[in-house]
Amino acid sequence: MPTYEYLCKECKKTFSMMLTLAEYEKGRVTCPKCKSKKVEQKVAAFFAVTSKKS
């Protein structure tokens, strides 16, 4: 399940949520601290690990 990072525009808290694609597409994310719906998705870096086959 992908992890998405958000920033609350009301209380300025940054938080992460693990959402399924269906949940993400609904866009019903609220801040866990102040319960505001005024949240903005942050651009998140990711790290991929691959194995090299010889």
Specify the 3-state DSSP secondary structure of 22.
Answer: helix
Average pLDDT over residues 2-6: 91
pTM (2 decimals)? 0.72
**Residues forming beta bridges with residue 18, ordered by sequence position:** 3
Task: Note the pLDDT tens digit of each residue in 30-43.
Answer: 999 999 999 999 98
- Where exactly are the structural domains of the chain? 3-41
Q: Is the pLDDT of residue 54 over 80?
A: no
The confidence band for 2, taking pLDDT boundaries of 50, 70 and 90, is confident
Q: In the predicted model, is pLDDT for residue 46 greater than 70?
A: no
Tell me the chain's radius of gyration from C-alpha atoms. Answer: 14
Q: How far is CA 10 from the centre of its chain?
A: 17
